[in-house]
Homo-oligomer: A and B are copies of this chain.
Amino acid sequence: MRLHAQHQPIALMRADCHVCRSEGLASRSQVLITSNGHEVQAQLYQIDSDLLALDEVALSEEAWDALAIRDGDSVQVRHPPVLESLAGVRQRIYGRRLGEEDLAAIVRDVVRGRYTDVHLSAFLTATATLPLSIDETIFLTKAMVDVGDRLGWQAPIVVDKHCVGGLPGNRTTPLVVAIAAANGLVMPKTSSRAITSPAGTADTMEMLAPVDLGIEQLQRVVQTEGGCIAWGGAMHLSPADDIFVRVERELDIDTEGQLIASVLSKKIAAGATHVVIDIPVGPTAKIRSHETAERLAGHLIETAAHFGLTLRCLYTDGSQPVGRGIGPALEARDVLAVLRNDPDQPQDLRERAALVAGAVLEIGGAAPPGQGIALALQTLDSGRAWEKFARICAAQGGLREPPQAAHVEPLVSLQAGRVTHIDNRKLSRLAKLAGAPERPAAGVSLHARLGDEVARGQPWLYLHAQTRSEMAYALEYARHAGDIVTIEA
């Protein structure tokens, strides 16, 4: 049947089949399916019709893949074993702290696919309403590393960077990797897809080259080029993270403890030793104040130190988007413009990439303290970054041009004036309603920055959408959302 269910293993069976009857299985209960030595736990739905024969079971793709079976193979279906780790989740719901073994057991069962949406949501909510303690964050990080693969590198220093997000279009990663690798550093970058934003780094990079690399291919790319920009989820590094992320996306939440465990588990599993964290701070960014940023930085550094990881946090301007594009393909175009030194490249993206790359060059020992930014800019100006980026893309499977959306509509200013405020959250919402990141060509392109003078009738933003109905949702939101960009006479 090839049922699509986004990471959820599902089985459909006839309600009147002998297995359901003899095992006493009810619809929506969990079942354990085994075949040829593989097993997966799935949610059972029962049907009455003869779309399925009495001895047939239909599986979602996730279940299908986990069992490694083909059409016509036989499977066994029975009650799953009791889910002992749920006792820990229940404890946490009632506000009791969890220990190392509790969290390890929970994460193991999550990765085995034994948690339903209800269980996953309860665990993530409980650890948001009563935030994870530092100890719990350390235990969770360790548990998330332990259930996945770990990469090892033949280098004493392996650099990495991460942006805690909340700032649309902040796509410095491909630029930083190119600059770092061009200067001899080892930077095997694994990135995630969007959680609640219109694009994750992996979504954007995928517009320029394949990112779905296996561990062996990733190691080959890094060995020859010094760097890569790959999707972490393709690699079984901290695989629990992708499962948590799907639920967090549905709730549109992203909490400090989960954020720290998510970021650090990926870095530790990827074998990083020195990491720069970019924390944009601004009134509509994810981090709203310097106090919050400093607390987050403190908790990140404390947790990282527990794993022997050196961390440097940068507090950057989060008052407006970086670059012009918001959405995978549109952001990829900004990255290309900076690498190619296009005359109309977004200067803010170039400067921010140099800031982060400078810190990476310094922490990695490729530049003396205080001289990282200058080296980063020189690497861009000389074309060495572009050359390195093109080689990395070729090694990952080939450089390619980002797609164009089928529909583009401008939003024009109703009055002349100056741009005094930009609402990042509303911009992100607008880009998501236009289809990003599911539709990679969709999103918005912003042609106004704080302080710009705008004429009456001047387009200050372009909406890009792949379908007419998504364009309609985005336009309707733009009409009713209030000021996305404030233009004062």
Q: Which residues of A contact B (CB under 8 A)?
A: 1-6, 8, 10, 12, 15, 21-24, 26-28, 45-49, 51, 58, 60, 78-79, 86, 89-90, 92-95, 116-122, 124-126, 128-130, 247, 250-253, 255, 435, 438-439, 466-470, 473
Contacts and interface: CB of A to CB of B under 8 A. Distances in A.
Nearest to A26: B438
Given A117-B117, A125-B121, A27 B1 contact: no
Contacts of A24: 435, 438-439, 466-467, 469-470
A412 to B, nearest CB: 25
B253 A90 contact: yes
Nearest to A471: B24
A394 to B, nearest CB: 31
Contact of A2 (B4, B49, B93, B125): B49
B250 A116 contact: yes
20 contacts: A1-B47, A3-B47, A4-B28, A5-B27, A5-B45, A8-B28, A22-B467, A22-B469, A24-B469, A51-B51, A93-B125, A94-B253, A94-B255, A117-B117, A118-B247, A119-B121, A119-B251, A121-B122, A126-B129, A130-B130
Nearest to A252: B90
A117 to B, nearest CB: 4
A122 B119 contact: no
A64 B79 CA distance: 28
Interface centre among A125, A126, A439 (most CB of B within 10 A): A125
> For the complex formed by this chain, how many copies does it contain in all?
2
A84 B48 CA distance: 36
Contacts of A10: 45
A129 B128 CA distance: 9
Contacts of A3: 12, 45-47
Given A24-B466, A122-B125, A126-B129, A1 B51 contact: yes
Given A79-B473, A93-B125, A116 B119 contact: no
Given A22-B468, A90-B253, A118-B120, 14 more contacts: A1-B47, A1-B48, A3-B12, A4-B28, A6-B26, A22-B469, A24-B467, A90-B252, A95-B129, A116-B117, A116-B250, A118-B247, A119-B250, A121-B121
A200 to B, nearest CB: 16
Contacts of A251: 86, 89-90, 93, 118-119, 122
A106 to B, nearest CB: 14
A128 B93 contact: yes
B45 A4 contact: yes
A470 to B, nearest CB: 5
Contacts of A23: 467, 469-470
Contacts of A117: 116-118, 121
A124 B119 CA distance: 11
Contacts of A124: 122
Contact of A27 (B4, B45, B125, B255): B4
B250 A48 contact: no
A119 B250 CA distance: 8
A465 B60 CA distance: 32
Contacts of A473: 79
**Closest 6 pairs between A and B when the two form their complex, measured CB to CB:** A4-B27, A2-B48, A121-B121, A129-B129, A125-B125, A117-B117
A15 B118 CA distance: 26
A93 B129 contact: yes
Nearest to A473: B79
A26 B45 CA distance: 20
A10 B49 CA distance: 16
A118 B120 CA distance: 8
Nearest to A48: B2
B129 A94 contact: yes
A95 B95 CA distance: 13
B125 A250 contact: no
Quick one: which of A5, A47, A252 has the most chain B CB within 10 A?
A: A47
A51 B58 CA distance: 11
Contacts of A467: 21-24
A441 to B, nearest CB: 12
A49 B255 CA distance: 39
Contacts of A116: 117, 250
Contacts of A26: 6, 438
Contacts of A27: 4-6
Nearest to A87: B252
B28 A78 contact: no
